[in-house]
Structure 1
Amino acid sequence: MRIETALAAVAVFSLGLSSADAETPFKLGTFERNGRTFPGLVLEDRWVVDIAAANARLQKQHPSWKALAIPAGMKELIERYDGGLRERLHAIANEPGAATPRVDTYEVKALRVRPPVPDPETMVNAAVNYVEHGAEVAGGTQAPTPSPTMAPSVPGLWERPANDIRWTPYLFLKARSALIGAGEAIRIPPGRDKIDWECELAVIVGRRASRVSVGQAREHIFGYTLEDDVSDRGGRGDARHGSDWLVGKSHDTFAPVGPFIVPKEFVPDPQALAIRFALSGKVMQDSSTARMTHTVDELLQYASNILTLRPGDVISTGSPAGVGFTRNPPVFMKPGDVAACTIERIGTLTNPVAAGP
């Protein structure tokens, strides 16, 4: 039994619950109600427990409990998760009747769902990180592979054994101003008609990470969510300096993230999750995170060699095959469409598509 699971079991035993209940899964999100924004605990993808209100009520019912102040925002909750909040949240999730309407529990549909981390300091995205996506982008059936004679490592960035001939990971930054939550509209900018989808597993960083090893990477992960890496395939109008990642990736509303975060204890293997994208009900992407070229741990390690990652930062791990611009004829999102990204164990991120600005 992992340490965090054992501690959670101790917490729920204090409520008189069975050990099996200690594994009741929950998700975390940020919500708005009557002008107040708060972190909530999500049960069954339907019920949202106001963590601060539930904690205050339970502390009165259990005077022997350690007094804990609940953070007002998700980043601080992530920072303090391993300092007692994990056990308290497990206890709240396992309280009898938690998934029922009461004074501190609401239905999701009664709340505004915000991005789970509304204010990440850094949003990092991986490019061409699935085998088949590499093939479709290259215009063939097989992804291009590097020559075995190329340099086996990039000192200070990507060190690997000589028999590992994968490309070095390719990461780029996405503007935080592009961030929106589930249910918010992806807006097609005026004059831009080649707007594409990329359904991706996103990592939420849990601890400060600078030059961590691959073996240490999982310790720095808090949990997982979904991102639609919306992309403008229309280019910049000239070939100067090649592609333009700012134009391609960072228009306003081009980073839907959410709806919730699944803490890592509920995702035993992030490299074995089914991933699917549907556009207005038609399945466009259908793959598995097992098809990633570089794992979530490798991507975090590589990113941490370039910049310091902090709690709440987002690392989106790349798109599988099935994007729109490689189809014949190409397919792009248009006003009136509905974009739905689904990942096993994580949930579904749904956003309508509307005309900009």
Structure 2
Amino acid sequence: MRLVRYRHDGKPWLGSLVRDYIVPLNAIANYFPTMLSLIEGGPVALEMAHELTAKGADAVAYDTASLLCPVERPGKFLAIGMNYQKHIAEAEKLGVPPPVNQAWFNKQSSCVAAPYAAIDPGPSVALDYEVELAVVIGRPGRSIAKEQAANHVFGYTVTNDVSARDWQAHSPTVTVSKSFDTFGPLGPCIVTRDEIPDPHNLRLKSVVNGEVRQDGNTGDMLYSIWDQIAYLSAGMTLETGDVLATGTPSGVGIGQNPPVFLKSGDRVRCEIEKIGFIENVIK
């Protein structure tokens, strides 16, 4: 399934995206009023959503819907740095040594934004883009074995790990520079795990004003999604609705020669095969 949140009559609704229209899931809203509750509902909730989707009642055109962030406020929004082989090589040219292990950081949950919302650079004058495959956790767990990691994934979505490179230089940690309001657009939908049996063979691209900047494949990851889940859960509980951004391929703005940063009016499109795209204009 392809699950969305959208605004209707001034209220957030859940829906199922089918080709170019959205089937409302409001008939099960008494049981599952939010995306988090739907995810927590497990197979029972998904079966009810499937039945409504098959009926297709009261469908609305996708291009007329006002989409919201599919995960309203994740409990944890974690992201891994330098996890694509070519991005590591790109960073090394800038004098950034490769990490000796998985290098995770926290994006504050207040940074999430709708898939087509404007991005506010705030005080940054060196704004950059990073297309990433994001994992939405379904079943919670701690000390999850790599071989069992897939069972804890609910689905996948697209994110842009927007980064203030000038603020990134202020500190050895990147949490602030990657957590400005609107620096975590997600969407357009959550594609459930069953529809993407191999998340390690997906093409992902970022396009700025019609120009392709990043064009990679999730198969270039240094640490697989299963490695990531096992590593994180070794010491912390991954909870339902947590979001994991799994790394970005080469081609980021700071890696250009000379560096090319985003400016007001630029349109950034991040897309991933089998999921869709998000597109955001810089304020």
TM-score (norm. length: structure 2): 0.94
- Using a 3 Å threshold, how does the CA distance of structure 1 residues 36 and 299 change in structure 2: closer, same or farther? same
Task: Say whether 1:71 aligns with 2:71.
Answer: no
Task: Say whether 1:180 aligns with 2:100.
Answer: no
Task: Say whether 1:212 aligns with 2:144.
Answer: yes
Alignment partner of 2:17: what SS?
strand
Task: Say whether 1:36 aligns with 2:36.
Answer: no
Write 1 or 2 for the structure with the bigger share of strand: 2
CA contact under 8 A between 1:52 and 1:70: conserved in structure 2?
Answer: no
CA contact under 8 A between 1:135 and 1:144: conserved in structure 2?
Answer: no
TM-fit CA distance, 1:237:
6.7
In the alignment, the residues of structure 1 paired with residue 209 and residue 222 of structure 2 have an alpha-carbon distance, to the nearest angstrom, of 29
What residue in structure 2 maps to residue 149 of structure 1?
A: none
- Using a 3 Å threshold, how does the CA distance of structure 1 residues 291 and 266 change in structure 2: closer, same or farther? same
- Using a 3 Å threshold, how does the CA distance of structure 1 residues 145 and 33 change in structure 2: closer, same or farther? closer
Alignment partner of 1:256: what SS?
strand
User: Identity rate of aligned residues, in percent?
Assistant: 34
Amino acid paired to 2:115: A
1:297-346 CA-partner distances (Å, limit 9, x unpaired): 11111111232111111000011100000111111111111111110001
CA contact under 8 A between 1:235 and 1:244: conserved in structure 2?
Answer: no
Out of 118, 136, 140, the residue aligned to residue 90 of structure 2 is: 136
In the alignment, the residues of structure 1 paired with residue 98 and residue 269 of structure 2 have an alpha-carbon distance, to the nearest angstrom, of 31
Number of aligned pairs? 283
In the alignment, the residues of structure 1 paired with residue 169 and residue 269 of structure 2 have an alpha-carbon distance, to the nearest angstrom, of 30
Moved more, 247-256 or 129-138: 247-256
In the alignment, the residues of structure 1 paired with residue 71 and residue 199 of structure 2 have an alpha-carbon distance, to the nearest angstrom, of 20
Structure 1 residues not aligned, in runs of 5+: 1-25, 57-68, 147-166
What residue in structure 1 maps to residue 122 of structure 2?
A: 189
Alignment partner of 2:166: what SS?
coil
TM-fit CA distance, 1:251:
1.0
C-alpha RMSD over aligned residues: 2.0
What residue in structure 1 maps to residue 192 of structure 2?
A: 263
Task: Say whether 1:235 aligns with 2:167.
Answer: yes
What residue in structure 2 maps to residue 303 of structure 1?
A: 232
User: Which structure has the bigger radius of gyration?
Assistant: 1
Structure 2 residues not aligned, in runs of 5+: none
Amino acid paired to 1:170: A
CA contact under 8 A between 1:127 and 1:318: conserved in structure 2?
Answer: yes
Amino acid paired to 1:124: L
Amino acid paired to 2:228: L
CA contact under 8 A between 1:201 and 1:317: conserved in structure 2?
Answer: yes
